[in-house]
Amino acid sequence: MTLARKLDALVKERSQNNSGLYKYSNKEVETDIRLQQRFHKLRGVSKLQKSIVRQNMHNAMSPLSAISGYLELINMSLGSEESAEKIGYYKEQIEHGIHEVNSILEQLHGLYTDETDTTDQEEDVSLDVDINWLVNEVLRTVNMHAESYETELTDYPLYVSVDLFIAKLIVFELVNYARKCSMKSDSLKLMTHQQGKFVNFTIQFNTTEQKKSEIASLIADIKNEDSEISNSFNEGLISSKELAGQLNGTLSFLSVQDGEARLTLTLPISF
C-alpha cells in the first residue's frame, strides 16, 4: 500500500470514529433534554396536585366543622327535653355534611384514576383524545348539577394529543376556579370550537364583586412569574398554565369590565 493510500485510509478511519462519537454525543444530549422535559412536567403535575388537594381540604373543612357542631348539639339535646323534630333536623344536617365530604372524596378518586399513565411510565405517553369527551368526563367527576352549567360543544370530535391525566387535571382546575369565582345563581358556560389548527376549550362565567379583586391579583401573578403566590386557587391556575405550555398549548384569562370572565385552554389539533 502506497503512503498516499495509507494516509487516505487513516483519514477515513478517523472520520468514521468522529462520526460515531458525534452521533453518540447527540444521542446523549437528546436523552438529557427528554429527561429534563420529563422532570419539569412531573414537577408541574406535583404542584398542581398539591394545589388541588389543598383546595379540597379547604372545601371539606366547612362541612366537617358543621358535622362536629351538630353532633355536639345532639349530645347536649340527649340530656334535655329537646323535641324529636329538632334532633331530626340536626341529623339531616349531619347527613348533608357527610354527603358533601363524600362528594369531595369521590371527585379526587375520579380525578386520579388515570394518574399512573403519567407517573409510572419512563417516557411521556400521549393519547389522541376528543376534547368534548374529556370535558364531559370532568363534569361527571365534579358531580355538577345540570342546572349549574350549560355546554356548547361541537357536534363532531376535536382530537388533541395529550397526556390524559395532565389534561384532566387542567380542565378540572379550570372548572373549579370558575365555580369558585362565579355567582351561585348563575351557570357556567363551557364551549369548544376549532380555530385553524388549534382547539379551544372556554369557560365563561360572571364574577362576583368580591372575586374581582382576586381575579386582578391572579392576572398580576401571571404577569409576574417571580411573585410569591399564597392563594391555592391562583397557584393551581398558574401551574395549569405551565402544564398547558408543556402540552404545546396555552392558557389565557380574559376579564371583561361588566363582570364576565373567560378562561380558555388552547391545544393543537391532532388530526
Q: What is the pLDDT of residues 116-137, one digit of tens each?
A: 555 555 556 788 999 999 999 8
Q: Determine contact, residues 215/255, Cβ cutoff 8 Å.
A: yes
Q: Determine contact, residues 244/177, Cβ cutoff 8 Å.
A: no
Determine the pLDDT at residue 131: 95
Q: 224 falls in which pLDDT band (50, 70, 90)?
A: low
Q: Give 214 or 86, the one with higher predicted confidence.
A: 86
Q: Determine contact, residues 48/240, Cβ cutoff 8 Å.
A: yes
The string of DSSP letters for 236-270 reads HHHHHHHHHHHTT-EEEEEE-TTSEEEEEEEEEB-
Mean per-residue pLDDT, 32-47: 63
State phi, psi for 150 to the nearest 5 degrees.
-135, 150
Above 70 in pLDDT, residue 107?
yes
Rounded CA-CA distance 264/73 in Å is: 46
Mean per-residue pLDDT, 10-19: 60
Q: 1 falls in which pLDDT band (50, 70, 90)?
A: low
Task: Quote the mean pLDDT of the chain.
Answer: 76
Which tens digits make up the pLDDT trace of 231-251?
556 778 888 888 888 888 998
Q: Give 198 or 146, the one with higher predicted confidence.
A: 198
Determine the pLDDT at residue 116: 53
Determine the pLDDT at residue 40: 61
Q: Which residues of 199-237 are buried (b: 16+ CB within 10 A; e: fewer)?
A: bbbbbbbbbbeebeebbeebeebbeeeeeebeebbbbbb
Above 80 in pLDDT, residue 259?
no
Kindly list the distances between the CA atom of residue 122 and the CA atoms of 35, 46, 69, 176, in Å, as whole numbers in the listed order. 9, 16, 48, 30
Mean per-residue pLDDT, 186-198: 92
Mean per-residue pLDDT, 102-118: 68
Rounded CA-CA distance 20/16 in Å is: 6
Determine the pLDDT at residue 17: 60
Above 60 in pLDDT, residue 210?
yes
Enumerate the H helices of the chain as residue ranges.
3-77, 84-111, 116-119, 131-141, 164-181, 209-223, 232-246
Q: Give 132 or 224, the one with higher predicted confidence.
A: 132
Range from 21-35, 47-61, 155-169, 204-218 carrying the lowest mean pLDDT: 21-35
Strands 188-195 and 149-152 come out as parallel
For the chain, which domains are there? 117-268 (3.30.565.10)
Q: Which residues of 147-186 are buried (b: 16+ CB within 10 A; e: fewer)?
A: eebeeebeeeebbbbbbbbbbbbbbbbbbbbbbebbeeee
Q: Which residues lie closer than 8 Å to 42 by C-beta, 6 or more apart?
A: 118, 119
Q: Is the four-CA dihedral 36, 41, 43, 44 of positive or negative sign?
A: positive
Residue 205 belongs to what H/E stretch? Answer: strand 198-206
Grid cell of 135 as nine digits: 370535558
Determine the pLDDT at residue 10: 57
Q: 115 falls in which pLDDT band (50, 70, 90)?
A: low
Grid cell of 133 as nine digits: 369527551
Above 90 in pLDDT, residue 268?
yes
Determine the pLDDT at residue 176: 85
Determine the pLDDT at residue 149: 86
